[in-house]
Structure 1
Amino acid sequence: MSHKQAGQPNNILFVKNLPYESTSDELYELFGRFGAVRQIRAGSEKDTRGTAFVVYEDIDDATEAVKTLSGFNYKNRYLVALFHSLEQMDKTAENLEARRAKLEELKKEHGLE
């Protein structure tokens, strides 16, 4: 069973350094230049603003978007476009679960339930 590695082409992009004021229509226009976009999920929380996941129908369109948009100046912001790594996401989830378990242990140890 093969896992997608960081940077390995797939149809999901993770984009950073987007202008906070970008609208959904603007993002679909920007990313749609490279092919059919299935979905865009833009970050809306304090720690996710300026980021988005972009899901393309076709891996070739996603590859072209990464090549063209990495370092692209969009509204005076230089974009960072990467292939999304499912493996990295799994590691993050595991790490979060381990930290929660440790926190629960510490609460019990110190009587803070």
Structure 2
Amino acid sequence: MQRRTNVRLPPEVNRILYIRNLPYKITAEEMYDIFGKYGAIRQIRVGNTPDTRGTAFVVYEDIFDAKNACDHLSGFNVCNRYLVVLYYQSNKAFKKVDVEKKKEELDKVKTKFGLNSDERK
């Protein structure tokens, strides 16, 4: 396998892929079959809670293998579901927590000032 030198990748490209829209019953072995064709995989984590079902993380050994897999498997049909393959971005992974926290703060302010969204109706 030839090494690529002096190739500039976009900043969002990394070795960790985040996959959505997976069939709920997919196994780690099936994930290795699909994603292993594009290079050596360090780890696969398939979501197993109600919030994470249908998602997975795939960590490649090499960033170019991850890019190749992302380019080729986005939209790939698995059991009549089209995969959504994204690069994992740690700064976006915790946005949901921030949104929940902001909602709690907003609710506290509404309560403090006697504002209730149900009263507008």
Q: Which residue of 2 aligns with 1:4?
A: none
1:34 to 35, 38, 43: 38
In structure 1, list runs of 5 or more residues that go unmatched.
1-6, 104-113
RMSD: 2.5
Post-superposition Cα deviations, 1:50-97, rounded to whole Å, max 9, x if no partner, equal: 100110001100001111111111121100000000111254455566
The partner residue of 1:87 within 70, 74, 91 is 91
1:49 aligns with 2:49: no
- C-alpha displacement of 1:100: 7.5
**Letter paired with 2:54:** G
| Offset from partner CA, 1:25-52 (integer Å, 9 cap, x none) | 1111111010001001110011211100
- In structure 2, distance between residues paired with 1:50 and 1:101: 31
Alignment size in residue pairs: 104
Residues 18 and 85 in structure 2, CA contact (< 8 A), matched pair in contact too: yes
CA–CA separation in structure 2 for the residues paired with 1:100 and 1:59: 39
Q: Distance in 2 between matches of 1:24 and 1:34?
A: 16
Name which structure has the greater RCO, CA cutoff 8 Å, separation 6+.
1
1:24 aligns with 2:28: yes
In the alignment, what sits opposite 1:107? Answer: none
Distance 1:56 1:34 in 2: 9
Structure 2: 5+ residue stretches without partners: 1-10, 108-121
Describe the shift of the 1:75–1:94 C-alpha distance in structure 2 as closer, same or farther (beyond 3 A).
same
Task: Give the conservation status (yes or no) of the 8 Å contact 2:76–2:82.
Answer: yes
